[in-house]
């Protein structure tokens, strides 16, 4: 894969090779620094961050890029960016493959797992504007015989709208933070585009300028509201892209058992990346587009 690719207004950065099994710090076994909030009736979808403060996450691999600017330029406040490791071969220690997407020599993409797949039929057209899913875009970037895989900690569930998550049933929720983009900074544009293997016609949100998610609002919940909410401990997907030739000819059994894809073409999920941007949904709220986090 190239050092950087741009498609559908998403910039995907190759953080460089990760050909050994990365191990997280011991503190990551219990850390819940990244807590998100959602409605309990929609498990696996989050709308609010617990805090408006953006934190660096030491519990996912960071890698090194041939161009250091590509790494330092990744901003968690910019939802039109993502990252992956290439060649990337193995899920981190204690993580498991959540999804796989592969492009064969005839250009066909096969996929499985969240969020490289959808559970309902893809329509050929739609009227409601969408925010394109970065995992869907990543599949389009695959070259012939390349495979993308995404991994999550084995103790977490993979969700296309949130990343890797586990619920925190006893978490006391009182306030949260929401990121939003003024509707004037986004425009719904008619497009014909590739969506999970189908060519569809519809409207996609497009940036009208350079947007950084710096507009935030702190929300205070009433007791009656908190009873409808659920908290999640969240980590981003770890995403890897590779070709069969990237694997060493004498890989050990222990290494291949954690291979980030020796699963032919079952599918993976999202990266966009080594730190994949989590699937973004656009929700209209007054004069703003609210971005579930």
Residues 6 or more apart in contact with residue 243 via CB below 8 angstroms: 87, 145, 146, 147
pLDDT value at position 3?
Answer: 60
| 213 — pLDDT class (breaks 50, 70, 90) | low
| 5 — pLDDT class (breaks 50, 70, 90) | low
**Model confidence at 271: pLDDT above 70:** no
| Residue 77 domain boundaries | 4-290
Across 55-69, 90-104, 132-146, 164-178, least confident range: 55-69
| 75 — pLDDT class (breaks 50, 70, 90) | low
- Whole-Å CA distances, 90 to 15, 97, 130: 15, 9, 33
Cβ count near 67 (within 10 Å) = 14
**Neighbouring-strand partners of residue 35:** 233
pLDDT value at position 70?
Answer: 47
**Model confidence at 128: pLDDT above 70:** yes
**Model confidence at 121: pLDDT above 70:** yes
Helices (H), the chain: 68-72, 134-141, 223-226, 253-257
Residues 6 or more apart in contact with residue 214 via CB below 8 angstroms: 77
| 64 — pLDDT class (breaks 50, 70, 90) | low
Work out the mean pLDDT of the chain and round it to a whole number: 74
pLDDT value at position 80?
Answer: 61
pLDDT value at position 73?
Answer: 53
Structure tokens at 171: 């978490």
Tell me the pLDDT tens digit for each residue of 235-248.
888 899 999 999 88
Q: Which residue has the tokens 């291949």?
A: 256
Work out how many domains the chain is built from and give that number: 1
Mean pLDDT over 176-180 rounds to: 84
| 119 — pLDDT class (breaks 50, 70, 90) | confident
**3-class SS letters over 196-256:** CCEEEEEEEEEECCCCCCCCEEEEECCHHHHCCEEEEEEECCEEEEECHHHCCCCCCHHHH
Angle (CA) 264 268 272, round 5°:
130
Q: How long a stretch of residues is the chain?
A: 293
| 266 — pLDDT class (breaks 50, 70, 90) | very low
pLDDT value at position 226?
Answer: 93
**Model confidence at 96: pLDDT above 60:** yes
Give the rounded percent of residues in the chain with a pLDDT score beyond 90.
26
């Amino acid at each position: 894969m190239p050092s950087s690719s741009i498609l559908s207004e998403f910039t995907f950065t190759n953080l460089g090779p990760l050909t050994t099994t990365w191990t997280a710090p011991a503190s990551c076994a219990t850390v819940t620094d990244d807590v998100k909030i959602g409605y309990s009736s929609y498990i696996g979808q989050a709308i609010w961050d617990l805090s408006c403060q953006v934190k660096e996450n030491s519990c996912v691999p960071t890698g090194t890029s041939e161009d250091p600017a590509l790494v330092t330029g990744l901003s968690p406040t910019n939802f039109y960016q993502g990252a992956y490791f290439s060649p990337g071969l193995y899920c981190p220690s204690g993580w498991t493959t959540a999804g796989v997407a592969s492009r064969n020599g005839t250009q066909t993409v096969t996929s499985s797992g969240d969020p490289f797949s959808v559970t309902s039929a893809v329509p050929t057209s739609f009227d409601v504007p969408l925010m394109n899913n970065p995992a869907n875009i990543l599949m389009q970037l695959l070259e012939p015989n390349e495979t993308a895989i995404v991994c999550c900690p084995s103790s977490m569930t993979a969700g296309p709208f949130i990343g890797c998550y586990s619920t925190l049933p006893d978490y006391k929720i009182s306030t949260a933070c929401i990121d939003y983009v003024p509707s004037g900074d986004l425009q719904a544009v008619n497009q014909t585009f590739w969506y999970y293997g189908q060519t569809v016609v519809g409207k996609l949100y497009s940036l009208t300028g350079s947007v950084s998610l710096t507009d935030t609002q702190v929300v205070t919940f009433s007791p009656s509201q908190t009873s409808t909410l659920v908290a999640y401990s969240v980590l981003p997907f770890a995403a890897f892209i590779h070709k069969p030739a990237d694997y060493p000819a004498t890989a050990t059994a222990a290494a291949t058992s954690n291979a980030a894809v020796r699963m032919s073409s079952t599918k993976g999920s999202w990266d966009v990346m080594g730190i994949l941007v989590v699937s973004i949904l656009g929700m209209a709220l007054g004069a703003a587009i609210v971005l579930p986090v």
